[in-house]
């Protein structure tokens, strides 16, 4: 009687079973890996805003007030730059800051500097890093410019739960939602910490706007600029500051050339919420279903609202 021979390979059934088990394990592991990666990106995003908050505090220490959220061509200076340019030396970008011409009239002269990618201004979870004009209007001066995913909070619009309505300047910018006046980083005005009557810990300075559906992306150096639509009309927009009128990630505020640019809602690609920087330098991850009265109360510096 001959000896049994050792089997040198798996049968087809055994091979299929092993492949199925590996597939199941991969399916179980992938969500965990993706969740871990998103947690890392969210931490990175949070740290970006912390650096920006520290830079704003250092700016205030030097100038006894915060920078204007955006400069227009109607006041001095007329360079139409934004608050992000003003804090560059405080985020280790002084060499880039020194390249800016602060005596220029209009943002166009300094626009090529926005082709420099500033890591601190970009959320790692966002899909679009360039100005949206790269998509909408190829050949535009902003086509190769990087954007920012962190916008100054100009203030709330609508009814104040503490009474009355929030202050908004509608002239000359009614087409795109006007400019809220009771926030921290607005058009042509500079706020002192002493002006924040609601408290530094109860007031948003900046928030994240990086959700992919929104087309409100402009060059990170651009302040107040004139925007024309295909019908030939136009009005003034704040490229790196936003009003708070609508809920976080509200799809009805997606910008489609028909106005309301300044009212584009804050939002992110992070699940369920968005980062906001408070004036005391802390960073919150705010649920996208936050009560609107609380949300608007946090967006004002002197509205007198009771915010829990």
Mean of pLDDT values over 134-141: 73
Mean of pLDDT values over 23-52: 81
Q: Report which listed range, 58-67, 129-138, 208-217, 232-241, is most confident.
A: 58-67
Mean of pLDDT values over 106-110: 85
Percent pLDDT > 90 in the chain is 54
Q: Which of 104, 98, 65 is nearest to 81 (CA)?
A: 104
Q: Are 294 and 156 in contact (CB under 8 A)?
A: no
pLDDT the model gives residue 232: 40
Mean of pLDDT values over 26-55: 82
Q: Are 290 and 192 in contact (CB under 8 A)?
A: no
Q: Report which listed range, 13-22, 133-142, 201-210, 215-224, is most confident.
A: 201-210
Q: How many CB atoms lie within 10 A of CB 21?
A: 10
Give the span between the Cα atoms of 62 and 47, in whole angstroms: 23
pLDDT the model gives residue 109: 87
The residue that leads in pLDDT, 19 or 75, is 19
pTM comes to 0.84
pLDDT surpassing 90 at residue 24: no
pLDDT the model gives residue 152: 97
Residue 111 tokens, joined: 């626009």
216-246: pLDDT as tens digits: 889 999 988 765 544 444 457 888 999 999 9
**Average predicted confidence (pLDDT) for the chain:** 86
pLDDT the model gives residue 34: 62
Q: Which of 243, 237, 278, 286 is nearest to 157 (CA)?
A: 243
pLDDT surpassing 50 at residue 194: yes
Q: Residues near 103 by Cβ (< 8 Å), separated by ≥ 6?
A: 77, 79
CA angle (130 as vertex; 169, 285 as ends), nearest 5: 65
pLDDT surpassing 70 at residue 259: no
pLDDT the model gives residue 306: 79
Give the span between the Cα atoms of 157 and 159, in whole angstroms: 7
pLDDT surpassing 70 at residue 256: no
Give the span between the Cα atoms of 245 and 28, in whole angstroms: 41
pLDDT confidence tier of residue 10, bands split at 50, 70 and 90: low
Mean of pLDDT values over 96-102: 93
Backbone angles phi, psi at 62, to 5 degrees: -80, -35
């Amino acid at each position: 009687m001959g000896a049994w021979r050792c089997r040198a390979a798996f049968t087809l059934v055994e091979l299929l079973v092993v492949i199925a088990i590996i597939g199941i394990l991969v399916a179980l592991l992938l969500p965990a890996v993706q969740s871990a990666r998103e947690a890392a990106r969210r931490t990175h995003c949070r740290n970006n805003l912390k650096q920006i908050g520290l830079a704003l505090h250092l700016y205030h220490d030097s100038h006894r007030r915060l920078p204007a959220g955006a400069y227009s061509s109607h006041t001095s200076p007329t360079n139409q730059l934004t608050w992000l340019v003003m804090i560059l030396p405080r985020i280790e970008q002084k060499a880039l800051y020194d390249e800016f011409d602060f005596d220029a009239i209009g943002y166009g002269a300094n626009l090529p500097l926005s082709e420099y990618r500033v890591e601190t201004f970009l959320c790692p979870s966002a899909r679009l890093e360039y100005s949206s004009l790269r998509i909408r209007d190829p050949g535009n001066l902003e086509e190769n410019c990087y954007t920012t995913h962190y916008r100054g909070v100009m203030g709330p619009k609508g009814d104040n739960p503490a009474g009355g309505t929030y202050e908004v300047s509608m002239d000359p910018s009614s087409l795109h939602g006007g400019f809220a006046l009771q926030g921290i980083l607005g058009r042509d005005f500079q706020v002192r910490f002493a002006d924040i009557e609601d408290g530094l810990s109860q007031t948003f300075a900046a928030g994240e706007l990086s959700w992919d559906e929104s087309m409100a992306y402009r060059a990170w150096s651009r302040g107040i600029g004139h925007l024309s639509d295909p019908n030939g009309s136009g009005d003034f927009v704040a490229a790196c500051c936003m009003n708070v009128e609508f809920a976080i990630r509200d799809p009805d505020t997606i910008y489609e050339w028909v106005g309301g640019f300044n009212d584009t809602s804050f939002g992110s690609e992070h699940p369920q919420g968005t980062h906001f920087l408070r004036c005391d330098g802390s960073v919150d991850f705010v649920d996208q279903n936050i009560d609107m009265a609380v949300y608007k109360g946090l967006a004002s510096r002197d509205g007198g609202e009771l915010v829990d």
